[in-house]
């Protein structure tokens, strides 16, 4: 019996050791991803990984849809009668009833969500639209497995062909097909390893901005020279005085890999003439306080914040005279003796009080500008972009002693982004932007695909962002407003290549007053050339306004002429890039002149340098 038990234990231990060892080896073994050149072949191999969908997938999709409807309903409850109108338009009651009765909604349930009406771009509507599409497609895949398998193979074939072309020569058209294929496969729960491999090679940050410590400091570095009244109480002495402070504000950028950090530093000296009242005597003194203060600000994707100010003060007090209020010499002698005994303690207390006043001052000076900047960030970027599912998938700040860097990835919904690292910026640039075409194209797709945009709304948005409406954005003299219903694929696309760029606007409908034309594209191409001061953009030929079909209709000809005239104001024959001025106190930086403008391999790279000298900035600690 004992021998059997021992044998059993030995076998069990061997199995445990083998299993554990195998797990550790497999866990530690690196996952080998296909190289870029191997991706097309990997697509074909992935056909063997087809996973038929089941009722479990349908139930999961149904639960996601129900949750999205609950969130939308809760949001509409805050909108009063307008919310009730949305419920009727979207037929939410019928949709809920279908889910409750385990009945598949009709395909007619989807069109209201993709009708392009203003408001449907908000996250609550988009979540229901996407969840409804997923639920319907999943249910159909289970009902028609052969059709779904053919769809799967077709997607992989298109992905293979597009990747082959894209690897050889990237284009925005192939990027769109690859993104759509990846999104469809991921949504259907297919070939996750292949999707991850493609994204590993082609989804990297597509916007990098950098601003130097010198430019940051230009709006902060300044001398301080002011006079203030002071009132204090130290060791029972009621002190009144006038303080004259002289010093210098500077900036330091502490290294931090995960935040944008900024320390505003103040060093200065305060000299004060004081009169103190303590019982029967009046004390006349002069104070000298050496001051140092620091206020740390930081920025991340949620906005700007700050730590309370910290400071250090060292005060030296010289008593000039002590007078008895009634002219008694003995009182004055006693007061002098006590003052001498307490002078060190009084100076220490005065130092701490000076620190408290200085901390309050630096906090108060930072509070209003910080609140305004943070509110502007939240109101104009964070909230509207988050509510419309447009916020970048990554928005990362980092700090080095020489500069603050912003790194962003705009690639929602399994879209492609940059294929690798951005190009270099010239060393002497003090501010730079490196923008990959995918950042623009992905954002435009998420914001505009299938949407109808009206001229008045665009003008209001531009005015809110810039504080004024540029001349080129103003309506034509005829006063007839225009509207564009953008194409569902690539509504606006840009291509950065060969020291130039091309922008294309695709619309399924253009309307100018009573004139309407369907299915037209507008495009303009520019070359970048060096100018005596800065750079200039030269339009290559005329603006191209063309239908997507071979034959032009009469309406397309009429509207095409109007569109060419309207967009000629925006896409001017020559655009001079003569530098920019930063707002507010940062105007002290002077005009920032472009010293590098390059369009190549999908990237737009701009480097700026100040045209005039700015105040020195302290090196980071």
| Six token digits for residue 403 | 């500069």
The string of DSSP letters for 363-382 reads HHHHHHHHHHHHHHHIIIII
The string of DSSP letters for 582-601 reads -SGGGGGG--EEEEEEEEET
| Six token digits for residue 291 | 């001051």
| pLDDT at position 350 | 92
Identify the DSSP state of 204: B
| pLDDT at position 242 | 95
Q: What is the SS3 assignment for 519?
A: strand
Q: What angle do CA 343, 310, 618 make, to 5 degrees?
A: 110
Predicted TM-score (pTM) of this structure: 0.86
Nearest in space to 270 (alpha carbons), one of 309, 224, 320, 319: 224
Splitting the chain (621 residues) into consecutive groups of 10 residues, what average pLDDT does each group show? 40 35 37 89 96 96 96 94 93 93 88 86 94 94 96 96 95 94 94 96 96 92 93 93 95 95 95 94 94 94 92 94 86 87 91 93 88 88 92 96 96 92 94 97 93 85 75 72 90 95 94 85 94 89 88 80 85 87 85 92 94 48 31
| pLDDT at position 2 | 40
CA dihedral 193→194→195→196, nearest 10 degrees, is 50
| pLDDT at position 24 | 31
| pLDDT at position 183 | 94
| pLDDT at position 33 | 87
Nearest in space to 470 (alpha carbons), one of 480, 461, 483: 461
Rounded-to-integer distance, Cα 436 and Cα 420, Å = 10
Kind of pairing between the strands at 431-436 and 207-212: antiparallel
Q: What is the SS3 assignment for 483?
A: strand
Beta bridge partners of 407: 208, 396
- How many CA atoms are closer than 13 Å to the CA of 389, on its beta-carbon side? 20
Rounded-to-integer distance, Cα 475 and Cα 472, Å = 8
Boundaries of every domain in the chain: 2-30, 41-202, 213-375, 410-610
| pLDDT at position 335 | 83
């Amino acid at each position: 019996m004992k021998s059997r038990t021992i044998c059993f234990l030995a076998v069990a231990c061997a199995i445990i050791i083998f299993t554990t060892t195998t797990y550790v080896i497999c866990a530690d073994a690196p996952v080998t991803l296909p190289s870029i050149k191997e991706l097309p072949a990997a697509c074909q191999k992935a056909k063997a990984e087809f996973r038929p969908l089941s009722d479990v997938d349908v139930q999961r999709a149904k639960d996601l849809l129900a949750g999205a409807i609950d969130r939308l309903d809760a949001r509409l409850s805050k909108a009063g009668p307008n919310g009730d109108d949305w419920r009727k338009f979207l037929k939410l009651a019928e949709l809920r009833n279908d889910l409750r009765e385990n009945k598949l909604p009709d395909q007619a349930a989807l069109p209201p969500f993709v009708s392009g009406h203003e408001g449907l771009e908000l996250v609550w509507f988009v979540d229901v639209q996407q969840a409804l599409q997923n639920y319907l497609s999943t249910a159909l895949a289970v009902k028609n497995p052969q059709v779904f398998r053919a769809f799967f193979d077709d997607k992989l074939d298109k992905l293979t062909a597009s990747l082959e072309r894209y690897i050889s020569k990237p284009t925005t058209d192939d990027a769109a097909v690859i993104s759509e294929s990846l999104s469809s496969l991921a949504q259907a729960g297919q070939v996750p390893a292949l999707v991850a491999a493609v994204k590993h090679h082609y989804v990297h940050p597509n916007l990098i901005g950098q601003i130097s410590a010198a430019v940051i400091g230009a709006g902060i570095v300044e001398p301080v020279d002011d006079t203030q009244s002071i009132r204090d109480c130290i060791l029972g002495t009621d002190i009144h005085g006038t303080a004259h402070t002289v010093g210098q504000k500077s900036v330091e950028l502490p290294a931090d890999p995960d935040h944008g950090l900024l320390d505003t530093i103040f060093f200065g000296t305060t000299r004060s003439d004081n009169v103190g009242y303590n019982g029967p005597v009046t004390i006349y003194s002069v104070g000298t306080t050496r001051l140092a203060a620091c206020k740390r600000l930081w920025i991340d994707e949620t906005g700007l914040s700050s730590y309370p100010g910290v400071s250090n003060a060292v005060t030296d007090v010289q008593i000039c005279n002590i007078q008895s209020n009634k002219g008694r010499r003995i009182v004055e002698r006693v007061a002098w003796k006590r003052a001498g005994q307490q002078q060190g303690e009084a100076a220490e207390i005065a130092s701490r009080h000076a620190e408290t006043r200085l901390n309050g001052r630096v906090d108060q000076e930072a509070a209003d500008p910080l609140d305004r900047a943070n509110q502007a960030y939240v109101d104009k970027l964070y909230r509207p972009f988050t509510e419309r599912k447009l916020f970048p998938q990554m928005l990362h700040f980092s700090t080095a002693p020489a500069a603050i860097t912003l790194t962003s990835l705009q690639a929602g919904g399994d879209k492609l982004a940059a294929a690798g690292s951005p190009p270099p910026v010239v060393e002497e640039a003090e501010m730079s932007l490196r923008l990959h075409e995918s950042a623009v194209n992905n954002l435009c797709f998420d914001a505009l695909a299938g949407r109808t945009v009206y001229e008045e709304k665009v003008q209001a948005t531009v005015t809110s962002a810039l504080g004024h409406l540029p001349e080129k954005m103003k309506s034509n003299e005829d006063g007839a407003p225009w509207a564009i219903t953008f194409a569902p694929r690539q509504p606006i696309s840009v291509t950065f290549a060969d020291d130039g760029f091309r922008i294309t606007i695709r619309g399924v409908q253009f309307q100018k007053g009573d004139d309407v034309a369907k299915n037209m594209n507008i495009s303009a191409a520019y070359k970048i050339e060096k100018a005596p001061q800065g750079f200039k953009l030269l339009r290559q030929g005329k603006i191209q306004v063309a239908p997507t079909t071979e034959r032009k209709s009469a309406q397309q000809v009429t509207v095409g002429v109007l569109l060419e005239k309207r967009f000629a104001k925006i896409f001017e024959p020559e655009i001079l890039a003569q530098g920019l001025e930063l707002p507010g106190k940062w105007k002290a930086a002077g005009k920032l002149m472009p010293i590098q403008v390059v369009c190549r391999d999908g990237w737009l790279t701009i480097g700026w340098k100040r045209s005039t000298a700015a105040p020195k900035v302290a090196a980071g600690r």
